[in-house]
Amino acid sequence: MSFRDLNLNTPLYNAIDDLGFTQPTPIQAEAFNVVASGADMVGIAQTGTGKTFAYMLPILKNLKFSKQENPRVLILVPTRELVVQVVDEIEKLAKYINTRVLGVYGGTNINTQKQAVAQGQDIIVATPGRLYDLAVSRVLQLKSLERLVIDEVDVMLDLGFRHQLINIFDILPERRQNIMFSATMTEDVDALITDFFTAPQKVSIAISGTPLENISQTKYSVPNYYTKLNLLVHLFQDAETYNKALVFVSNKRMADRLFEALDEFFNEELCVIHSNKTQNYRLRSIEQFREGVNRILVATDVMARGLDIDNVSHVFNFDTPDYPENYMHRIGRTGRAEREGQAIIFSTEKEQEGLEKIETLMQMEIPELQIPTEVVISTELIEEERTVIKERNNPTKRKDIDAPGPAFHEKSAKNSKENLGGSYKFKIAAKYKKPKTRGDKNYNKRNKK
Same domain, 146 and 33: yes
- Of the candidates 83, 73, 89, the one whose C-alpha atom is nearest the C-alpha of residue 130 is 83
Helices 187-196, 162-170: axis angle to 10 degrees equals 10
The sign of the torsion formed by the CA atoms of 394, 399, 405, 410 equals positive
- Of the candidates 24, 2, 3, 30, the one whose C-alpha atom is nearest the C-alpha of residue 205 is 30
pLDDT the model gives residue 370: 96
Q: What is the mean pLDDT of residues 109-129?
A: 94
pLDDT greater than 70 at residue 136: yes
pLDDT the model gives residue 60: 95
The residue with greater pLDDT, 62 or 426, is: 62
Contact by Cβ (8 Å): 188, 341 = no
Banded pLDDT at 4 (limits 50, 70, 90): confident
pLDDT greater than 60 at residue 215: yes
pLDDT greater than 80 at residue 158: no
Same domain, 56 and 178: yes
Strand 245-249 and strand 296-300: pairing?
A: parallel
Same domain, 428 and 283: no
Same domain, 232 and 356: yes
Domain boundary among 154, 171, 204: 204
In a domain? residue 102? yes
Domain boundary among 159, 177, 204: 204
pLDDT the model gives residue 272: 92
9-24 pLDDT, tens per residue?
999 999 999 999 989 9
Count structural domains, the chain: 3
Average pLDDT, the chain: 85
Domain boundary among 175, 204, 233: 204
Q: What is the CATH number for 112?
A: 3.40.50.300
pLDDT the model gives residue 119: 93
The residue with greater pLDDT, 38 or 328, is: 38
Same domain, 191 and 230: no
29-52 pLDDT, tens per residue?
999 999 999 999 998 877 667 889
Say what percent of the chain tops pLDDT 70: 82
Same domain, 301 and 359: yes
pLDDT greater than 50 at residue 401: no
Same domain, 30 and 156: yes
Banded pLDDT at 402 (limits 50, 70, 90): very low
Same domain, 186 and 144: yes
* Distances in whole angstroms, Cα of residue 144 to Cα of each of 123, 198, 306, 363, 433: 11, 19, 28, 47, 77
pLDDT greater than 60 at residue 408: no
d(CA 227, CA 375): 8
46-81 pLDDT, tens per residue?
766 788 999 999 999 999 988 889 999 999 998 888
Of 75-79, 112-116, 204-208, 359-363, least confident by mean pLDDT is 204-208
Structure-derived torsion over alpha carbons of residues 344, 347, 351, 354, reported in degrees to the nearest 10 = 20
Banded pLDDT at 430 (limits 50, 70, 90): low
In a domain? residue 446? no
Same domain, 148 and 266: no
Provide the residue range defining the domain that includes 420: 413-439
Same domain, 122 and 53: yes
pLDDT the model gives residue 300: 87
Same domain, 229 and 195: no
pLDDT greater than 70 at residue 443: no
Q: What is the mean pLDDT of residues 328-347?
A: 84
In a domain? residue 401? no
Banded pLDDT at 311 (limits 50, 70, 90): confident
Q: What is the mean pLDDT of residues 187-206?
A: 82
In a domain? residue 394? no
pLDDT the model gives residue 276: 81
pLDDT greater than 60 at residue 285: yes
pLDDT greater than 70 at residue 120: yes
Q: What is the mean pLDDT of residues 220-235?
A: 95
Of 148-157, 197-206, 345-354, 419-428, least confident by mean pLDDT is 419-428
pLDDT the model gives residue 191: 84
- Of the candidates 129, 127, 132, 115, the one whose C-alpha atom is nearest the C-alpha of residue 69 is 115
Same domain, 142 and 221: no
Chain centre distance of CA 233: 28
- Of the candidates 308, 306, 318, 305, the one whose C-alpha atom is nearest the C-alpha of residue 255 is 318
